[in-house]
Amino acid sequence: MRFIEAEDNIIGDLKCHEEKDNIRLTFKWPADIGQVYIFRTSGDDFDLAAARASEARLFTLQEYKAKSGFIDRKTPGVNMYRVYPFTREDGEDIAVAQTDGKNAVACMAGQVAVRIKITEKRPLLGNEKTNTVSLFSEQFINAGELCYVKKAGGYPSDVNDGTVYFFDGPLEPGVTFSRKIKTGRSEYIRVFAKDEGKAWMYKFMNE
């Protein structure tokens, strides 16, 4: 997507409001702009230059006034919204970017359901066992958001009750993430949210 940078007459005061089944965005609408691009992503990574216009919602000032904001159906988890003024030069659609970050806001809504299955394989001989951890989520989860904790003698009760390890990648929506983890025969593991302050976002379902 082609874009130009601007430092004035840009998006400001962008806020996210949770309303029953919807998310409402309100923001300062730039003067002399009739439409904006609105992108929604579930991860932090976003490159406007690599984005496609088809991935955005083209939203008009008339719609904004009629609905008192931009309304989107609520999706559990954290969604990042980015708003860019829309302009046209020589028949080409262009997004107006800004560098102060005030055109982006993170919205947290509901709980992300994560299915967890952990199986153990114990050899007849030896002091190790193999744990197969399978995770499944309908929503994207960034690498580092979830972790597993290993504890000797029993299952860990929380993220601080043992040694913390991270998985080596994000959870892609609708794709089972599986890893084989070797531990001692008397060591046990459980999956947790790394940040206890964000634990409420996830609904862990053990299979």
The CA distance from 42 to 80, in Å, is 6
Which pair of tokens denotes residue 69? Answer: 């904001």
- At residue 9, the 3 state secondary structure works out as coil
pLDDT value of residue 11: 93
Name the β-bridge partners of 40.
81
Q: Are 135 and 191 in contact (CB under 8 A)?
A: yes
In the 3-class helix/strand/coil scheme, how is 83-128 assigned residue by residue? EEEEEEECCEEEEEECCCCCCEEEEEECCEEEEEEEEEECCCCCCE
| Per-residue confidence (pLDDT) for residue 43, from 0 to 100 | 67
Domains of the chain listed by start with CATH number: 3-109 (2.60.40.10), 112-206 (2.60.40)
Do residues 26 and 71 make contact, with C-beta atoms less than 8 angstroms apart? no
pTM (predicted TM-score): 0.62
3-state secondary structure of 63: helix
pLDDT for 46-101, tens place per residue?
A: 888 888 888 999 999 999 999 999 999 988 777 899 999 998 888 888 899 988 88
Q: How far apart are the C-alpha atoms of 83 and 96, rounded to whole Å?
A: 9
Give average pLDDT by consecutive 10-residue segment, the chain, 207 residues. Answer: 84 90 93 93 80 91 96 85 90 87 86 92 89 92 92 95 93 92 95 88 88
**The predicted structure's pLDDT at residue 147:** 96
pLDDT at site 75: 81
| CA dist., res. 96 & res. 3, Å (int) | 6
